[in-house]
Amino acid sequence: MKKCILSVLAVLLFLGSAPVFACEEGRELQRGQVRSVFRKEAARQADVFLKNWKTIRSNRIDTDPTVEYCMVDLDHNGRLEILARPESNRDRTPCCWEINETRTGITKQNKKWVRKHMDKQILPWMIPHPETAAGPWTGNNENLKNMLLDSYAIYAGRKDAFG
């Protein structure tokens, strides 16, 4: 009888903690929080962005020496987006690329989609040093990748600041 009661209690304890297992690192989502992807998946998606950096960097923002970026999941589908905008024109709708469904490339989102999904969100913009932004061309992706991951970690509520 004791074994049966203990077994039932163990099952109830496990089932009671099931929502904790649904979210990364045992954090339950509170109302208004962002559903985040796991760190390893964010790192994989950051690598896809870096492989496509020439496309991201060269879309009418290349003439501005200082470009702001952030890595987020605006539509909360698990496929991250990278936003880019010239620092000199922050009022302009940023360019946005989302990881494609196969998670091997990127797809450009139109401005209407971006405005719809950006509405009322606080975005963690960062400005990489020009040498860091050139990392994908010089073979030194590590600093830029870490900055993108920091941007996403701030967006997802895992960090308070860059660094």
* pLDDT category of residue 3 using cuts at 50, 70 and 90: low
Q: pLDDT averaged over the chain?
A: 78
pLDDT of residue 137: 77
What pLDDT digit, counting tens, does each position of 65-103 carry? 678 999 999 999 999 999 998 877 777 889 999 999 999
Domain range annotation of the chain = 1-33, 36-155
Residue 148 CB neighbours (<10 A):
25
pLDDT of residue 32: 46
Q: Is the Cβ–Cβ distance between 77 and 63 less than 8 Å?
A: no
The DSSP element (H or E) to which 99 belongs, if any, is strand 95-99
Q: Is the Cβ–Cβ distance between 148 and 49 less than 8 Å?
A: yes
Is residue 19 scored above 50 in pLDDT? no
Report pTM: 0.73
Closest among 136, 159, 161, 156 to 41, alpha carbons compared: 156
The C-alpha atoms of residue 27 and residue 156 are separated, in whole angstroms, by 11
Task: Tell me how far apart the terminal alpha carbons of the chain are, to the nearest angstrom.
Answer: 55
Phi/psi for 97 (5° steps) reads: -125, 135
Beta-bridge mates of residue 96: 83, 109
Is residue 29 scored above 50 in pLDDT? no
Residue 126 CB neighbours (<10 A):
17
DSSP string, 25-52: GGPPPPTTPPP---HHHHHHHHHHHHHT
Secondary structure E strands in 104-163: 106-109
